[in-house]
Amino acid sequence: MDASKFGAPKRNNYSYGKKMKLIFKNLLVYILLILVGIVLIGPFLWLLSTALKSGSENIFKYPPDLIPNHITLSNFSKVMEAFPFWRYLFNSTVVSIFTVILNTLFCSLAAYPLARINFKGRNIVFLLIISTMIIPFQLLMIPIYILAINLGLQNTYAGMILPHITTAFGIFIIRQGMITIPFELDESAFMDGANRFQIWWRIILPLTKPSIVTLAIFTFVSSWDDFLWPLIITNDQNMYTLPLGVNMLMGTFSSDWRLISAGAIISVIPIIIVFVLLQKYFVNGLKGAIKG
């Protein structure tokens, strides 16, 4: 019996057409992502090109030369000599690391009862916490600044760190990761004699690692790039962070964009390193937040 009379080739043609349609759709998505990536990385490449150009090259040439004719690293060495670079780098590192540690710690402590303990009004408390995300930090700066001054926190690391040790966004990210963990683990731990703190520390936190790492990346980036709050809370240049140092560089070398570009590149390198090392946890953490 001829199978073609019963539509077998039609099924094959349908399957082939569906497969080609899927390939074409994926191809369009990849092309779109590549174009978006080029648009996003373009300014950074121009910044890097400017930082590597010598003084004899025209940085405002149009169209710009992304590959310098004479590559030089002298701009980076001049930047480090122009202001106390290592001191500002140390300040940024201390502030960012302690902000990340305290933020992940307190946000995980706040997220645990909202995700694992069924108490009356839990959802209302969570909604109230999330609603604070609509309030911009600029509205809170004046009362926080007055409080910090009264506590003697001006020109201190604590003054730059404490306002950012707990955020509604951090509580949300970790809480979404915690609610995906089976509740049977809590019950089993209770039967073995564990208390709430032990369950949080030994069971929940290790299983929430992707969400914690995601929050750590967001916190590190925002803390490292923070310009406004350190500018307000410090007036001693020895306590300046790297963004404030780059701002001083712009004031000192307002006409030499090569040095300004070199300073900006240096300030971005730690963020790139942190993201590259932790990107796999970052993706998993975002997936957990969306699914939760």
Q: How far is CA 204 from the centre of its chain?
A: 23
pLDDT in tens, the chain (292 residues): 444 454 555 556 667 677 777 888 888 889 998 999 888 888 888 888 888 888 777 777 777 777 787 888 888 888 888 788 889 999 999 999 999 999 999 999 999 999 999 989 999 999 999 999 998 888 889 999 999 999 999 999 999 999 999 999 999 999 988 998 999 999 899 998 899 999 999 999 999 988 898 899 999 999 999 999 999 999 998 999 999 888 887 765 556 788 888 888 888 888 888 888 877 766 665 555 555 5
Confirm if 30 and 45 have CB atoms less than 8 A apart: no
Confirm if 51 and 74 have CB atoms less than 8 A apart: no
Quick check: helix, strand or coil at residue 53? strand
Helix%, strand%, coil% for the chain, nearest 5: 80, 0, 20
- pTM, full prediction: 0.81
DSSP 8-state assignment for residue 204: I
Quick check: helix, strand or coil at residue 71? strand
DSSP 8-state assignment for residue 253: S
